Amino acid sequence: MRYSALVIVFFTTSALAQTGSIIDHRAANIPAGKTLGIAEKRHIMQDFAACTVRRWRHGVERYLDTMPESVEAQTMGARLATEDCLISGQMQFQEALYRAAAYEAMYRVTFARQGVSDFTSVPPIDYAQPGAPTDEAASARATLRRLADCAVRHGPLEARALILSPIGGPDENAAFVAVTPMVSACMPADATVNFSKISLRGYVGEALYRLSMAAQGASAPPS
């Protein structure tokens, strides 16, 4: 398993004329005149995603149903990213980063008090999605999602601990250590998969939420 770097880039007001994907919001706060560390940037993204879920949960659910990194996803994501979810500043980020944070926020809202710990009844989830691009990058993303799905099925409690752990703290580090054996066990033979610890948390969050929702639906009595 090899980790690669992941950087979230935040822009000041002067960058407004240089990019077409600047997002203003209120709830998360980007301190002015301060160089932010990775953990601080992750906290801002987490706060921003949590705000959008609190305010427009149904809109976030519709957004998460879109094809990852598609034009539709970017359009819907931009609609959710309003000034109501940022106290100050502007930021630019890849759609995939918001998607990961949104899945985590949805999991916290829905399952923070009581999570699902058995996914044996959940059938396979199609992470490739019908009609999705078939290029190498899209195929790699689908592979990472299936890898995370396998890891969550093997260690649901460890996955839950990771997603509920505070960003950048000792609990998160311990949770990464606990999840790593499941990820390694699920790794396809002779495969080389590149991802960062941060992106791993994002894929685990997506798989954990989707599996939990599917298990919840499977256990619901027929109407």
Cα dihedral 43, 22, 65, 60, rounded to 10, equals 60
Measured between alpha carbons, how far is 29 from 18 in angstroms, rounded to an integer?
A: 21
Question: What does the pLDDT profile of the chain (223 residues) look like in tens digits?
Answer: 333 333 333 333 333 223 333 333 335 555 556 677 888 888 888 988 998 898 889 999 999 998 887 888 888 887 776 656 766 666 666 788 889 999 999 999 999 999 999 999 999 998 876 555 556 777 788 889 999 999 999 999 999 999 999 999 999 999 999 999 999 999 877 767 777 888 999 999 999 999 999 998 765 544 4
**End-to-end Cα separation, the chain, in angstroms:** 45
Measured between alpha carbons, how far is 174 from 212 in angstroms, rounded to an integer?
A: 23
Do residues 46 and 101 touch, judged by C-beta distance below 8 A? yes
Cα of 28 vs its chain's centroid, Å? 17
Measured between alpha carbons, how far is 110 from 164 in angstroms, rounded to an integer?
A: 12
